[in-house]
A and B are shown apart, each in its own frame.
Chain A
Amino acid sequence: MTKRNISFTLNGEPATAEIEPHHNLVELLQRDFNLMGARESCGQGMCGCCTVLVDGTAVSGCLYLAAFVDGAQVATIESLADGDKLSPVQEAFIEAGAFQCGYCTPGFILMATQLLDENPDPDEDAIRHYLSGNLCRCAAYPEIIEAVKIAARKRKAA
Chain B
Amino acid sequence: MPGHQVGRSLPRLEAREKVTGRAEYTHTMRLPGMLHAKIFRSTVAHGRIRSIDTSAAKTTPGVHHVVTSEDVRKVIAEPYYGPAFHDQPVLAIDKVHYVGEPVAAVLARDPHVAEAAAALIVAEYDELPAVFDEVEAVENRILVHEELRPAGTFADLKHLKGRRDTNIALDFKLRRGDVEKAFAAAAHVFEHTFRTQKVLHLALEPFASIADWTETGVTIYSASQGPSFVRTEIARLLGWPENRVRIKVPYLGGGFGGKLYIKLEALATALSMIARRPIKVAASMEEQFYTITKHPSTFRIKTAVDRSGRIAARKCEVYWNGGAYADIGPRVTQKSGFTASGPYDIENVWIDSYALYTNLPPAGALRGFGVPQLVWAYERHTDIIARELKLDPVEFRRKNILRDGRPHATGTVARDIALEAALARVADRLSWSRPIERGTGSVRRGRGVAIAMKAVISPTTSVANINIAADGSTTLYCGTVDMGQGSDTAMAQIVGEVLDMSAERVRVIARDTDVTPYDMGTLGSRSLFHMGHAVRLAAEEARDKIKALGRDVGEPEGSNIPISELFKKKYGMQAGNIIASGIYKPDYVPPDPATGLTPNATPFWMCAAAGAEVEVDIETGKVRVTRLVNVVDCGRPINPKIVETQISGGALMQLGFTLFEKMHIDAGQVTNASLADYKIPAILDLPQIMENEAVSAQQHNGPFGAKGVGESATFCVSPAIGNAIEDACGVCLAELPLDPETILRALRDKADAPLGDA
- A residues near B (Cβ < 8 Å) are 22, 30, 35-44, 46-47, 49, 76-78, 80-81, 86, 90, 93-95, 97, 99-106, 109, 128-129, 131-145
Q: Which of A41, A103, A109, A134 contacts B19 (CB 8 A)?
A: A109
Q: Which chain A residues border B256 with CB–CB below 8 Å?
A: 137
Q: Cβ of B549 < 8 Å from any Cβ of A?
A: no
Nearest CB of A to B680, in Å? 6
- 19 A/B residue pairs, CB under 8 Å, sorted by A: A36-B21, A41-B206, A99-B15, A99-B19, A101-B203, A101-B205, A102-B14, A103-B25, A103-B205, A132-B682, A135-B682, A137-B204, A137-B254, A137-B256, A138-B484, A139-B653, A140-B648, A141-B686, A142-B686
Does B28 have its Cβ within 8 Å of any Cβ on chain A?
Answer: yes
Q: How far is the CB of B661 from chain A (nearest CB, A)?
A: 11
Chain A residue, CB-CB nearest to B19: A90
Residues of B within 8 A of A141 (CB): 652, 681-683, 686
Interfacial chain A residues near B28, Cβ < 8 Å:
30, 36, 39
- CB distance B18 to A132 under 8 Å? no
Interface mask (B362-394 → A, CB under 8 Å = 1, otherwise 0): 000000000000000000000000000000000
The residues in B between 238 and 278 inclusive whose CB is less than 8 angstroms from any CB of A are 251-256
Tally of A-B Cβ pairs under 8 angstroms: 158
Judged by a CB distance under 8 angstroms, whether B20 is at the interface is yes
Given contacts A94-B16, A100-B484, A102-B253, contact A44 B676 (CB under 8 A): yes
B1 CB within 8 Å of chain A? no
Q: Give the complex CA separation of A99 and B486 in angstroms.
A: 10
Q: Chain B contact residues: over half helix, strand or loop, or mixed?
A: loop
Neighbouring B residues of A47 by C-beta, 8 Å: 204, 675
CB-CB nearest in chain A for B253: A103
Q: Provide the bound-state CA to CA distance between A93 and B15, in Å.
A: 9
Contact B21 A76 (CB under 8 A): yes
Q: Which residues of A contact B203 (CB under 8 A)?
A: 101, 103, 137
Contacts of B202 in A (CB 8 A): 137
In the bound complex, what is the Cα–Cα distance between A104 and B205 (angstroms)? 9
A93 — which chain B residues lie within 8 A by C-beta? Answer: 15, 19
Is residue B165 within 8 Å, beta carbon to beta carbon, of the partner chain?
no
Q: Which of B253, B483, B648 has the most CB of A within 10 A?
A: B253
Among B11, B251, B254, B676, contact of A94 (Cβ-Cβ < 8 Å): B11
Q: How far is the CB of B615 from chain A (nearest CB, A)?
A: 18
CB atoms of B11 and A97 under 8 A apart: yes
Residues of A within 8 A of B22 (CB): 36-37, 78
- Nearest Cβ in chain A — how far from B136, in angstroms? 32
State the CA gap A101–B201 with chains docked (Å): 14
Known contacts A94-B11, A132-B683; A36 and B24 CB within 8 A of each other: yes
**A94 to B680 CA separation, bound complex (whole angstroms):** 24
Query: In the complex, A77→B16 CA distance in Å?
Result: 12
Question: Which of B16, B112, B484, B674 counts the most A-chain CB atoms under 10 A from its CB?
Answer: B484
